[in-house]
């Protein structure tokens, strides 16, 4: 909710409260000296609970970056633990994907803890954990403690209470929000489904809609509830997209739930608790692809709504603003990387399987590695959210697969007519993007499947020989 409707930089608060909870259950007091550094973590990293490593991987599980604490491991070191620089991502007992915005402080805390226990003289570092005398703590146990602490802070701790006490500090408002919702409501039905309870939602939305200079956009005195046709709190996503929970009505005066299951039609001004995506469709009279669902959680929002309901999806990626800035500001690095790839292919262009010549590509490989590292460092210590050099990350592949639209903010919809047809750019497969139509000779009568003697583009640099191209 917070990341969709505003920039909500309270990672530092969540980090501090999680550390305090770990200390309260017996972790060393020195942890209280940790200070959150937002330049280190990025979303989509995988934590290996066996070796305590943070891994940046691609869609297939190939390791792009490996860090033990704040020590970035080189290729030979990585291969000692992962012989093929590859992991089985479906081994969820061992590998945990840190995909959400709320995982960012957790990611940094895991790195801090591994770094602390690896380098502190009181502890003996082991391959799968650390020892304090006769006591052994595995990285798996440490990870579970962190997971439990994060859940405690969010569900039982004081995170929301402290946030509400100082909303002006943690919430950056956008005066265009009420304007966009008003325009959306003129042409369609707008619903809100949040995992937050009513009291927290009410306080947050009051700030978003009613603070600011008198007369400015968004300072009209209409209730925030009037911007929505349907409001659901306590949604419990991703369960919401499956069996859901009992639909109940909220007493907006007390914030308490009324007894019994709500079975009536959609009523203006009523706030509901629980429910499911099926109930949303029934109340709004909508079917799957009639709905554009906006969320910031790649799994709990986008993947589940897409796979279970067939809803259209809009993923909010706040980091995209910085990603685009670096992408344009440092475009020369990516262009150099492309040039190096072309030059590498040129070395093999006139060779085939009968050739004994082995071009020396070591200098090009070193330069590719250097340029890739320089590109990554422009984004932060863990590099770009979407790529490492020319290779896309796991997170990027999930965005491409499950999000129909994505942007840094859904406020961007304000700049498009609601009749606008969003169409994805035509994506070519490698054999389509590297071979020109006019240059492929398959014979006058034979089909490409029938002929065994195909000749390809003479000037193409995407594969070595002039026969039988292999596409990656």
Residue with tokens 């050739």: 355
CA distances (Å), origin 184, targets 216, 287, 311, 321: 19, 18, 17, 24
| CB-based contact 15:178 (threshold 8 Å) | no
Rounded to whole angstroms, how far apart are CA atoms 389 and 231?
43
How far is Cα 256 from Cα 250, in angstroms, rounded to an integer?
A: 6
Are the beta carbons of 261 and 279 closer than 8 angstroms? no
Q: Report the alpha-carbon distance of residue 302 to residue 304 in Å, rounded.
A: 6
* Best CA proximity match to 354, nearest among 470, 456, 431, 464: 464
> Facing residues of 86 across strands?
62
SS3 assignment, position 101: coil
Question: For residues 341 and 434, what is the distance between their CA atoms, to the nearest angstrom?
Answer: 13
Residue 143: partners with Cβ closer than 8 Å, 6 or more residues away: 47, 49, 52, 96, 110
Q: Give residue 383's Cα distance to chain centre.
A: 14
- The contacts of residue 414 (CB under 8 Å, 6+ apart) are 176, 179, 180, 183
Q: Compute φ and ψ for 32, nearest 5 degrees.
A: -65, -15
Q: Residues 18-50, buried b or exposed e (16+ Cβ, 10 A)?
A: bbbbbeeeebbeebeebebeeebbbbbbbbbbb
- The DSSP code sequence of 263-280 is -S---TT-EEEEE-HHHH
Distance, in Å, from the CA atom of 382 to the CA atom of 49, rounded to the nearest integer, reads: 19
- Residue 86 and residue 62 in contact, taking contact as beta carbons nearer than 8 Å: yes
- If DSSP codes are grouped into helix, strand and coil, which group holds residue 103? helix
The response to whether 296 counts as a known ligand-binding position is yes
> Is the distance from CB of 207 to CB of 167 less than 8 angstroms?
yes
Q: Which residue has the tokens 């004994």?
A: 356
H helices of 156-243, in order, are: 159-165, 167-170, 177-187, 198-210
| Residue numbers belonging to the annotated binding site | 296
| Residue numbers belonging to the annotated binding site for Mg(2+) | 296
């Amino acid at each position: 909710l917070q990341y969709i409707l505003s920039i909500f930089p309270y990672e530092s608060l969540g980090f501090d409260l999680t550390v305090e909870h770990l200390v309260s259950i017996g972790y060393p007091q020195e942890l209280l000296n940790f200070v959150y550094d937002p330049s280190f973590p990025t979303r989509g990293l995988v934590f290996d609970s066996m070796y305590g490593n943070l891994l940046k991987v691609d869609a297939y599980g190939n390791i792009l970056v490996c860090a033990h604490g704040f020590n970035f491991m080189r290729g030979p070191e990585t291969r000692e633990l992962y012989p093929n620089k590859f992991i089985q991502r479906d081994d969820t007992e061992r590998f945990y994907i840190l995909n959400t915005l709320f995982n960012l402080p957790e990611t940094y805390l895991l790195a801090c803890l591994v770094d602390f226990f690896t380098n502190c003289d009181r502890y003996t570092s082991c391959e799968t954990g650390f020892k304090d005398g006769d006591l052994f703590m595995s990285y798996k146990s440490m990870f579970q403690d962190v997971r439990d602490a994060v859940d405690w802070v969010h569900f039982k701790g004081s995170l929301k209470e402290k946030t509400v006490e100082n909303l002006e500090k943690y919430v950056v408002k956008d005066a265009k929000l009420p304007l966009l919702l008003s325009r959306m409501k003129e042409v369609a039905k707008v619903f809100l489904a949040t995992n937050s309870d009513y009291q927290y939602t009410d306080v947050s939305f009051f700030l978003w809609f009613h603070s600011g200079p008198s007369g400015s956009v968004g300072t009209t005195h209409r209730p925030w509830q009037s911007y929505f046709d349907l409001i659901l709190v306590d949604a419990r996503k991703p369960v919401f997209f499956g069996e859901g929970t009992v639909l109940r009505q909220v007493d907006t005066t007390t914030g308490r739930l009324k007894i019994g299951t709500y079975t009536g039609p959609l009523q203006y001004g009523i706030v509901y608790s629980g429910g499911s995506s099926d109930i949303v469709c029934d109340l709004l009279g909508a079917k799957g692809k009639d709905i554009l669902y906006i969320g910031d959680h790649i799994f709990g929002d986008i993947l589940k709504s897409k796979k279970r309901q067939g809803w259209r999806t809009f993923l909010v990626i706040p980091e995209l603003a910085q990603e685009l800035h670096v992408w344009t500001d440092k475009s020369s690095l990516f262009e150099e990387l492309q040039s190096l790839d072309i030059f590498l292919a040129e070395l093999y262009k006139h060779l085939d399987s009968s050739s004994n010549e082995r071009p020396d590509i070591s200098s090009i490989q070193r330069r590719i590695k250097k340029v890739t590292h320089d590109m990554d460092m422009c984004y932060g210590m863990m590099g770009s959210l979407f790529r490492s050099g020319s290779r896309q990350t796991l997170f990027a592949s999930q965005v491409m697969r499950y999000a129909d639209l994505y942007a840094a903010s859904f406020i961007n919809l304000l700049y498009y007519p609601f009749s606008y047809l969003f169409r994805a750019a035509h994506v070519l497969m490698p054999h389509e993007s590297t071979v020109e139509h006019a240059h492929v000779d398959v014979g006058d009568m034979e089909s490409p499947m029938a002929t065994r003697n195909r000749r390809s583009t003479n000037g193409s640099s995407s594969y070595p020989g002039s026969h039988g191209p292999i596409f990656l």
